[in-house]
Structure 1
């Protein structure tokens, strides 16, 4: 009986999910700036309701990014702490892949461009195609200004996630290739459970020490953030 716990704090939403032999229970809350206080109590409640302790799990999954810098660190650090204490493998899951899977489950989308708002007039983006019930990335995850977004060939792409708030700044070709965006599709721990189960079966777990967040921001971008903070002081 495979038991996998998943955590995500990469956006304003905070979510925890538990998969027991493919049956998933999820606690999903949009609680900006409350992730640090709420995440562990949500984990405790989820495990308690299932009559489980952390050491009885097979693995722990977490939203490894991209997304909020602070949020990704919270999920990564929490997952590492839980996994290290119980000697469990970790399954880092792409937040953009989780968005694509949710778009498929809720809207029957087959070709999805997942996005998140990266702030500073930029977005995180990746295109996916559903294959055997799971999203397969067609290119690399990127952080980009809206005007530089280029989609794979074809049209009727399903536009998912908050990054599509920048649609009006994108090229005419992109605007014509996508359907009306669904902005309120967040990465969620329930979707991450599905992706994590598939990864676990393939033996893709890593140790707590090896698990790494994915920020996508380069040093130049973070320097911009630092400079903006200095100007605001």
Structure 2
């Protein structure tokens, strides 16, 4: 083996992001540069239709095949639930047939890696992404120069923007949370610098995954799983039925309460109304 080849996938956002990384095994001794092929396209909610074609294009450009790969990495989350399932499923499917190891990489860690690649001084990174529903996905990372690896200070969490815990040393704020929440995000004002372009992307994901692969932090294909962080945003069928029944019961109770609340005068007026004549339409009295 003269090179390590790693395929990285990320569909956690509105982008379909794919990178193919090839690194000579003796790069540390020879200084040989890695080779990288990339597709990063805004696809919205249809990343699933673009992911496999993009992968095929990269292998064709590189003159490689899936059989040349040593591992497959994917952005495990947090992010779009549908996007996370897409990347997980494709990584599993491609890896399973060739018995390749899979490298799950947090999308927040990919943000931290992106910030460091763009600015070597970014050695403490608070990664924060807009999670919708007025909340933020965030994590805190510190770069260990001796180990040449990130240390997780705070694992991926979900909070209101005001509740982020600030690092105790100068830090870079990575991700799109500052743009999404502005002054509601105290971390933006406290940061050494804000890098709104440090977002989930297959290139930093590939670099982080390569270190994880070399350190043996991989999983078998059938054990790869998304990291949702937000436990739940959708109801099950049973829960929807129960909610509907609950609403119907509340409406019936409201009607009963309204009847009980009828004034005594209304009740007397109703009781003294003359009965309709036999055979007359309802509501028509005797002539």
TM over 0.5: yes
Tell me, in whole angstroms, the C-alpha distance in 2 between the residues paired with 1:202 and 1:128: 18
Q: CA deviation at 1:185?
A: 2.2
> What is the CA deviation profile of residues 103-128 of structure 1, one whole-angstrom value per residue up to 9, with x for unaligned ones?
11113322211111110000100111
CA contact (8 A) 1:117 1:163 kept: yes
Matched position secondary structure for 2:84 = helix
- What is the TM-score when the length of structure 1 is the normalising length? 0.88
Name which of 167, 170, 175 aligns with 1:161. 175
Matched position secondary structure for 2:53 = helix
CA contact (8 A) 1:16 1:26 kept: yes
Tell me, in whole angstroms, the C-alpha distance in 2 between the residues paired with 1:117 and 1:215: 14
Correspondence list, 1:30-109, <5 A: 30-108=42-120, 109=122
Query: Radius of gyration: which is bigger?
Result: 2
Q: CA deviation at 1:23?
A: 2.8
Q: Could you tell me which residue of structure 2 aligns to residue 10 of structure 1?
A: 12
Q: 1:175 to 1:45 in 2, by over 3 A?
A: closer
Q: CA deviation at 1:73?
A: 0.7
Query: Looking at both structures, which has the greater relative contact order when contacts are Cα pairs under 8 Å and sequence separation is at least 6?
Result: 1
| Root mean square deviation of aligned Cα | 2.1
5+ residue gaps, structure 2: 24-33, 244-287
Q: Could you tell me which residue of structure 1 aligns to residue 38 of structure 2?
A: 26
Q: How many residues align?
A: 223
- What is the TM-score when the length of structure 2 is the normalising length? 0.72
Name which of 134, 142, 166 aligns with 1:151. 166
Q: Could you tell me which residue of structure 2 aligns to residue 188 of structure 1?
A: 201
5+ residue gaps, structure 1: none
Q: CA deviation at 1:13?
A: 1.6
Q: Could you tell me which residue of structure 2 aligns to residue 118 of structure 1?
A: 131
Tell me, in whole angstroms, the C-alpha distance in 1 between the residues paired with 2:73 and 2:208: 9
